[in-house]
Amino acid sequence: MFIRDNFERQRKINVSLAARDSDLVKIGRDFLAHADKYQYGYFWRFMGLPIIQMPEDIVLTQEILWKLKPDVVIEAGVAWGGSLLMYAAFQDIEKKGKTFGIDLVTPDHNKAAIMKSPVSHRITLIEGSSTDLKVFNQIAQEVKQDDRILLVLDSNHTESHVLEELKLWTPLLKKGDVLIVSDTIVEDIPIQTHRPRPWGPGNNPKTALLKFLETTDRFSYDNDYSLRALNSFNPSGYLFCIK
């Protein structure tokens, strides 16, 4: 009954079928658009701190952390810090690794909460723009040639900003490393008039990603993680460096 190979084989078939089910995909998008009226992404915590993600994205990211075992995690967009704690917690299991969190401003009470965590020794907070060459250089000098890297872009979601981030940071990644471009969902849901933002359909992380992918063949979102992102902030946003 409990034969793992059979389980995984059927799982792979079902993932592929689900990803091609246009009704199911629409249900996921509709749920997200409606739930956002209640700031559904704010409902969740990791080690006590808010982690502003859909539950599906939290699970997908922890799978990536477990498989990749990154020596370095770089996240642009700290917010409350829950996601930083998740990255650092998985690094702590392996007893190795550094997590860098970049944000223009991290309030003192947020910093204090992050640095009180039992995994704070893995975390470095950097105040500045994720498109600032000085910030890039500060982190790049900490990255060794054979380090496994997870790069998460979750800051300013305008196309111009995300495209600049992609151009700046992706040269650090090598084959096998992982890139997560957050909030690609903005392209696929109606303008959220209850929460005005300088980004929206036609100007968002997904449009930036698609433009970026026209310039390189080093990254692909054709993988199991993106296929499963049905009720996700990050559809097509889970990419592997393939070259």
Structure confidence at residue 73 (pLDDT): 98
Largest Cα span, the chain = 56
Length of the chain: 243
Q: Is 183 exposed, middle or buried (0-12, 13-18, 19+ CB in 10 A)?
A: buried
Structure confidence at residue 135 (pLDDT): 98
Residue numbers of the domain that contains 200: 4-241
What pTM, to 2 d.p., does this model score? 0.96
* Residues in a beta bridge with 200: 203
State which residues of the chain have pLDDT below 70.
none
Structure confidence at residue 124 (pLDDT): 98
Structure confidence at residue 158 (pLDDT): 97
The tens digit of pLDDT for each residue in 165-195 reads 999 999 999 999 999 999 999 999 888 777 7
- The CATH number assigned to the domain holding 80 equals 3.40.50.150
Structure confidence at residue 191 (pLDDT): 83
**What's the number of domains the chain is made of?**
1
184-214 as b/e: b if 16+ CB within 10 A:
bbbbbeeeeeeeeeebbeebbbbbbbeebbe
The tens digit of pLDDT for each residue in 223-240 reads 999 999 999 999 999 999
